[in-house]
Amino acid sequence: MKKWVSLVAILAVALLEAMLVDHFKVFGAKPDLLLITLVILAGFFLFQLPWIITLAIIAGIFKDIFSANIFGVNTLLFCAWAILIVRISKRISIDDNLRRAALIFALALLDSIGTRIILVLWGNPIAWGIFLRIGFLSALYTLIVSPLMFRIPWLWLSNHRIHAY
């Protein structure tokens, strides 16, 4: 049941990000709702690593489909972030909103840096000023929006901390 809810959540957030979030850009930066959702699902629902990687691949594919970047960049990075989240959540409890928000900010910043580095390696140069402004503002915007995502109704499942098989 929780696996299906997580798939529906990824799909709903991907559609929301594709249709609505572009209207709320600030200086070219927008929040990364799929990354927030991945952090919530990977760090809070206690799924096994293969399922988290599956969710990361699905979220990355959706993000790649709806973005103008090279296809596969987000899928690759989301898989890396999912593994990192699972490893961090085994060592540090990320059940409280402050730690989860700090993790989201760090991952959003790393995601922005990783995306920009991959794009530069593929021959798409980006001016440093634009890179720093959009990367930092996107991470900050993602951090600001994340508490709203923590209160989404489908998170009621988190109260039933049952391990998924």
pLDDT in tens, 24-47: 888 778 899 999 999 888 866 667
Nearby residues of 72 by Cβ (< 8 Å), 6 or more positions away: 64
pLDDT in the model for residue 159: 54
How far apart CA 41 and CA 6 sit, in angstroms, is 7
CATH topology of domain 2-154: Arp2/3 complex 21 kDa subunit ARPC3 (1.10.1760)
Q: With b meaning 16 or more CB within 10 Å and e meaning fewer, what string describes 136-162?
A: ebbbbbbbebbeebbeeeebebeeeee
Question: What pLDDT was estimated at residue 110?
Answer: 93
With H, G, I as helix, E, B as strand and everything else as coil, classify residue 68.
coil
Q: Which residues contact 140 (CB under 8 A, 6 or more apart)?
A: 29, 105
Amino acid at 11: L
DSSP H helices, the chain, are 2-19, 33-44, 49-66, 73-91, 97-121, 128-150
Q: What per-residue confidence (pLDDT) applies to 1?
A: 59
Pick out the chain residues at pLDDT < 50. Answer: 153-154, 162-165
Quote the pLDDT of residue 60: 94
- Could you tell me which of 9, 20, 18, 32 has the C-alpha nearest to residue 140? 32
* Cα distance between residue 101 and residue 38, in whole Å: 13
pLDDT of residue 165: 39
**Environment class of 20 (CB within 10 Å of its CB; exposed 0-12, middle 13-18, buried 19+):** exposed
